[in-house]
């Protein structure tokens, strides 16, 4: 394992949801030279801005967390933007990192890269066995392509690297915007606001019969940092719990934890997305000595309490 105290680390997306927890862990591990660029200063979809960032900061390592992400709705509405922005950021960062002599590059990918019909549990060897779920394919393919680019740079230029694939994240400080958020923060906000208004029902997308797996954000941050510390050769590594839950059961659990007493209706005209998501996490245990620690219901309680305390600022 590499000592972080002597490394200058650039973390794109370090001010975001996952990035904030990653940066906290890096500081706790002794990383004293941590660079967190902001979008207002560096548009990472611009090659010129990425070059300027690398020239001005001279990092030893780059941890690429920055992404344009969201739930099914925004993925469906902005497929072109999601492909371009995620592809462009990664391409420019990798190439300019090579030119600048960066030693190690960590690519944070996405579970959306897996094929639509991947057998459960998803194993990393299945990544290329089909086309991703259509509702998030542009985002997933862009991220998957960047893992190929990093592998190519490792083989041709000797750049050290790591690729991690976190499953759906949740936790305090998440995005709770009803249009662009993922399912857990959207449901928490929907239930709490409906409870406050005294609504008789909430409406949820799809059938509720698809499944998802969820990973608490602090567990994910630990997995990302572990990958940066120990990996030299990029190969995809799943980060998850290995446990799935049907969306209908998730809704019931959030309804219970938020205290909403109304009915739940399902809008079956809205898409479900991928039928099932559940990961094989054996590679993470083997290569990173990592596994998730926070139980799902406890993580939901922490997330709900954080939102209740910070709702006015969300």
Q: With bands split at pLDDT 50, 70 and 90, how would you rate the model's confidence at 314?
A: very low
Of these residues, 42, 114, 131, 139, which one is catalytic?
Answer: 139
State the Cα–Cα distance between residues 195 and 214, nearest whole angstrom.
24
245-246 and 211-212 beta bridge pairing: antiparallel
- Give the count of beta carbons closer than 10 Å to the beta carbon of residue 37: 21
Among 76, 82, 142, 137, which residue's Cα sits nearest to residue 109? 142
Q: What is the mean pLDDT of the chain?
A: 94
pLDDT at res. 182: 81
**Which helix (H) or strand (E) element contains residue 147?**
helix 137-157
pTM recorded for the entire structure: 0.92
**For 133, which DSSP code?**
P
Which residue segments constitute the domains of the chain, with CATH numbers given? 4-173+215-242+277-294 (3.40.50.720)
Whether pLDDT at 212 is above 60: yes
Among 242, 257, 208, 227, which residue's Cα sits nearest to residue 150? 227
The DSSP secondary structure of 2-32, one letter per residue, reads: --GGG-EEEEETTTSHHHHHHHHHHHHTT--
Q: CB of 188 within 8 A of CB of 82?
A: no
Please return the burial class of 73, using the count of CB atoms within 10 Å of its CB with bins 0-12, 13-18 and 19+. Answer: middle
Among 52, 54, 51, 71, which residue's Cα sits nearest to residue 62? 54
pLDDT tens track for 31-79: 999 999 999 999 999 999 999 999 999 999 999 999 987 777 777 888 9
Note if 216 is an active site residue: no
pLDDT tens track for 86-101: 999 999 999 999 999 9
């Amino acid at each position: 394992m590499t000592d972080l105290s002597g490394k200058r680390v650039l973390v794109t997306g370090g001010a975001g949801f996952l990035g904030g927890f990653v940066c906290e862990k890096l500081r706790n591990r002794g990383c004293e030279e941590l660079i967190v660029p902001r979008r207002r200063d560096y548009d990472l979809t611009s090659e010129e801005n990425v070059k300027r960032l690398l020239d001005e900061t001279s990092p030893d390592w780059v941890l690429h967390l920055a992404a344009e992400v969201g739930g099914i709705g925004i993925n469906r509405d902005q497929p072109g933007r999601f492909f371009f922005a995620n592809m462009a950021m990664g391409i420019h960062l990798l190439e300019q990192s090579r030119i600048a002599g960066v030693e190690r590059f960590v690519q944070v990918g996405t579970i959306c890269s897996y094929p639509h019909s991947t057998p459960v549990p998803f194993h990393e060897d299945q990544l290329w066995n089909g086309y991703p779920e259509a509702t998030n394919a542009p985002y997933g393919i862009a991220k998957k392509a960047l893992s190929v680019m990093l592998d190519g740079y490792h083989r041709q230029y000797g750049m050290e690297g790591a690729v991690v694939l976190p499953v759906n994240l949740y936790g305090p400080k998440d995005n709770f915007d009803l249009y662009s958020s993922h399912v857990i923060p959207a449901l928490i906000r929907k239930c709490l606001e409906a409870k406050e208004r005294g609504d008789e029902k909430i409406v949820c997308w799809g059938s509720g019969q698809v499944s998802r797996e969820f990973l608490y954000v602090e567990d994910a941050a630990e997995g990302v940092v572990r990958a940066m510390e120990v990996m030299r050769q990029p190969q995809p590594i799943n980060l998850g719990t290995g446990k799935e839950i049907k969306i209908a059961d998730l809704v019931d659990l959030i309804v219970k934890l938020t205290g909403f007493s109304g009915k739940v209706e399902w809008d079956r005209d809205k898409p479900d997305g991928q039928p099932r998501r559940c990961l094989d996490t054996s590679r993470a245990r083997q290569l990173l000595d990592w596994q998730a620690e926070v139980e799902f219901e406890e993580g939901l309680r922490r997330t709900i309490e954080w939102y209740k305390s910070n709702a006015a600022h969300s």
